């Protein structure tokens, strides 16, 4: 039976345009600002070098992998943490400590970090009104980056899922409505993501890659259990996401 498709709640699909002057990046060594830019200017450069991406890699991986590996490594980390949260069982202290030993944080902090980091990446992949911001020159590469992250995430969370089930879980509803979706799903599973990016670009809104990252966030909220003992990790994930996206 074909999995039922569901429309995403509006707040998760919103790509929030914002002036990047409002972002404080701190002392990230790989920040891609020009030396002439001040804090009123935008960021630019490859998606893998965006401050939010680098910070997420440092927080979740402990290292920043080489550019060609970063999106997939980060997506795998999102998937592994989500699986770890599901596997907590009764959420007893022993389980929490075992989780912290594996992931370097207690489950509640890690759930919030997942949501917050995805929201920050989504924001920095969003178009803005600031001159020199991410736009047409970055769009295709950004979409490939987001597809790599999404594919790695779902292949951990749903390792035995069919290509169609994985694609339905992870790709935006507008992409699911494209003619030949089964072929799109196979391409997603096979990993020919440059071809897939070109195929689905027209279905994505102005946000482009940001729409895909929003779908990753929604997929994780659907995957996490609604509650685990006294702790609702799905709610904590959403709390972290909502706090960083606004």
What backbone phi and psi angles, to 5 degrees, belong to 205? -75, -170
Greatest pairwise CA separation for the chain in angstroms:
57
Arithmetic mean of pLDDT, 215-237: 85
Half-sphere exposure of 174 toward its Cβ, with a 13 Å CA cutoff? 15
Claim: this prediction has a pTM higher than 0.85: no
Does pLDDT of 27 surpass 80? Answer: no
Residue that wins the pLDDT comparison between 105 and 24: 105
Closest CA to 196 of 210, 211, 183: 183
Does pLDDT of 115 surpass 90? Answer: yes
Between 193-200 and 136-157, two packed helices, what is the crossing angle to 10 degrees?
120
Confidence band for 221, pLDDT divided at 50, 70 and 90: very high
Work out the mean pLDDT of the chain and round it to a whole number: 80
Distance CA 194, CA 212 (A): 15
User: Locate tokens 């970090």: which residue?
Assistant: 113
Does pLDDT of 190 surpass 60? Answer: yes
- Least confident piece of the model among 37-51, 84-98, 165-179, 187-201: 37-51
**Which residues, including other chains, have CB under 8 Å from residue 26's CB and lie 6 or more apart?**
51
């Amino acid at each position: 039976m074909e999995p039922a498709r569901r429309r995403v709640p509006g707040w998760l699909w919103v790509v929030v345009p914002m002036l990047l002057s409002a972002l404080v990046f701190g002392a990230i060594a790989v920040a891609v600002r020009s030396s002439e830019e001040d804090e009123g200017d935008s960021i630019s450069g490859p998606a893998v070098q965006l401050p939010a991406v680098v910070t997420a890699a440092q927080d979740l991986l402990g290292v920043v992998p080489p550019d060609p590996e970063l999106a997939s490594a980060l997506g795998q980390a999102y998937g592994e943490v989500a699986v770890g949260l599901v596997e907590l069982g009764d959420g007893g202290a022993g389980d929490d400590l075992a989780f912290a030993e594996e992931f370097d944080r207690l489950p509640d902090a890690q759930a919030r970090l997942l949501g917050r980091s995805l929201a920050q990446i989504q924001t920095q992949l969003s178009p803005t009104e600031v001159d020199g911001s991410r736009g047409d020159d970055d769009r295709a590469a950004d979409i490939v980056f987001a597809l790599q992250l999404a594919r790695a995430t779902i292949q951990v969370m749903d390792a035995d899922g069919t290509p169609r089930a994985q694609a339905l879980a992870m790709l935006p509803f507008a992409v699911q409505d494209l003619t030949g979706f089964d072929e799109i799903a196979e391409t997603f599973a096979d990993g020919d993501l440059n071809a897939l990016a070109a195929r689905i670009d027209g279905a994505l809104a102005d946000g482009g890659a940001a729409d895909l990252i929003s779908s990753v966030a929604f997929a994780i909220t659907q995957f996490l259990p609604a509650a685990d003992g006294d702790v609702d990790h799905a709610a904590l994930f959403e709390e972290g996401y909502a706090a960083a996206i606004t």
